[in-house]
Amino acid sequence: MGRAGMTYRAGTAPIHLLVGLAVRPAASHRRLGRVEIGGSAVVDLRGLDELIAALGSAGYRTLGPVVRNDTIVHGSLTGVDALPSGFHDHQSPGHYDLVHCDDGELFGWAVGPASFKSELFPPHQIVWKASTAPDGFSVEEPSEEARPVAMVGARPCELAGLEVLDRVLGTRGADPVYSRRREAAFVAVVECGAPAADCFCTSMGTGPEASGAFDLALTELYDPPDRLDPDNPMPAAGHRFLVNVGSELGSELLDKISHHAAGEQDLARRQAILATARKRVGRFLDTEGLAGILERNIESRRFEEVAERCLACGNCTMVCPTCFCSDIRDASDLDGGARRERTWSSCFDLEHSYLHGGAIRRSVSSRYRQWLTHKLSTWWEQFGTSGCVGCGRCITWCPVGIDLTAEAAAIRASDGASHGRTPQAFVRGAALATSTIGAQATSSGNDPDTPPISEVPR
Ligand code: SF4
Ligand code: SF4
């Protein structure tokens, strides 16, 4: 995935926020000189706890992985005790199971349904409020949360997702709220040691190692209890994290907490963990020439076949870390007040393609096509990158288990077929589209009267 042209660097929180860091270095750890950008060190569980405390002391609203409703989502993080110790997930198309074991691994899971996108691009946002006054009315913008967010435990694909959003929402002042929050955010990535069966980060170049603009990148070096010597349950190496420094701010924070020098053993362990993780990545997407293949197969029958299963529920778009569609609505109160609200929307909503007179993507097949081809093809034209980072959420959280990698592979396999469409059918579809504009769309499902997907020439 291309990374050129990134607009925001993580870790650009105002430096004054760091004043007051009150972390006592542990006496048992030898203090290093300051670890510079690109350098690495090792922290143990106490050091990780100190990092979380230091972020709070520095003024951050610290978020990290927590267990809620049998899933791993992000929530308020006050210390290591709040992390999902011993939790592991099993994911497959349409399925997510969280299991608990007696091991103490803290990050032995892949991404859950929630991404950090929601902290920077909130699902629901008041844009402005208006109220009546004796001499007219006044308009006010809601005040922003003062504390910047610290994202602890974001996975590498999650960071890649934010970098995709940077190009969409963070350029040319497209979304000032997103830009402000993103610029002030602190990102402590934890590299993936336990990818899920629905992950395909290796296809997209987004994981399992962290390669984006992080402040700190941690790798959990964990020796499961059954591999420890019973006579020496906590070997010298122990449960620890290799920490790579990615920014000045990360370097400053690391300097405030207990850490020691990384040895050859630590670096080799990280490489071994990542090598195993790469083998555990469960899915593959062949991206070679994919954007062009999708573009020239826009009339593929596959879109109608997938629409026979697709519920148009929009789950795939809600869990996706890069989907950015939103809806603006104005509402009024009985007391004379009014407000403008922005909420997440989905290209699977019938109303989302509403233009003057009606919706132009009336069939489910046309909406699935819009989503898939935007993610993997036209996103490149718009933003110079793929719209997909291979996190696999849309596969796991699709209630009927539709798998974007399988759909893309099927279209690739049929590349060159005529799809049974003739140029005349295409022209006829265009005429149909013209004649149906003005008709009120009445269904969000597969309507037998819905014109074929060729109704809107592309
Ligand atoms: S399209 Fe699916 S796999 Fe790709 S980033 Fe979105 S949710 Fe993840
Ligand atoms: S692909 Fe799956 S998650 Fe997405 S709209 Fe269709 S049924 Fe819902």
pLDDT tens, 305-362? 999 999 999 999 999 999 999 999 999 988 889 999 999 999 999 999 999 889 999 9
Q: What is the pLDDT of residues 156-178, one digit of tens each?
A: 999 999 999 999 999 877 899 99
Give CA separation, 266 vs 42, 237, 250, 281, in Å: 8, 8, 20, 23
Model confidence, pTM: 0.83
pLDDT at 197 over 50: yes
For the chain, the domain total comes to 2
Among candidate residues 247, 280, 313, the one where a domain is terminated: 280
Asked if 43 and 164 sit in the same domain, the reply is yes
Among candidate residues 260, 280, 300, the one where a domain is terminated: 280
Q: Where are the alpha helices (DSSP H) in 132-246?
A: 156-169, 176-184, 201-204
Ligand 1, CB cutoff 6 Å, lining residues: 319-322, 375, 388-394, 404
Q: What's the CA-to-centroid distance between 432 and ligand 1, angstroms? A: 33
Q: What is the pLDDT of residues 246-271, one digit of tens each?
A: 999 999 999 999 999 999 999 999 99
Asked if 321 and 266 sit in the same domain, the reply is no
Asked if 110 and 36 sit in the same domain, the reply is yes
Q: Which of 310, 344, 350 to mutate to test the pocket of ligand 2 (most atoms within 8 A of CB)?
A: 310
Nearest ligand to residue 306 Cα: 2
Q: Would you state the structure tokens that stand for residue 373, as one six-digit string?
A: 């081809």
Nearest ligand to residue 375 Cα: 1
Asked if 264 and 362 sit in the same domain, the reply is no
Asked if 324 and 216 sit in the same domain, the reply is no
Asked if 148 and 295 sit in the same domain, the reply is no
Phi, psi of 272 (to 5 degrees): -65, -40
Residue nearest to atom 6 of ligand 1 (CA): 320
Distance CA 197, CA 294 (A): 25
Cβ-contact 290, 376 below 8 angstroms: yes
Strands 186-190 and 149-154, by their bridges, are: parallel
Instruction: Using DSSP, state whether 363 is helix, strand or coil.
Output: coil
Q: Which of 311, 369, 396, 403 to mutate to test the pocket of ligand 2 (most atoms within 8 A of CB)?
A: 311
The verdict on residue 130 lying in a domain is no
Cβ-contact 89, 110 below 8 angstroms: yes
Q: Which domain holds residue 307?
A: 290-455
Task: State the pLDDT at residue 227.
Answer: 54
Cβ-contact 385, 164 below 8 angstroms: yes
pLDDT at 59 over 90: yes
Asked if 80 and 209 sit in the same domain, the reply is yes
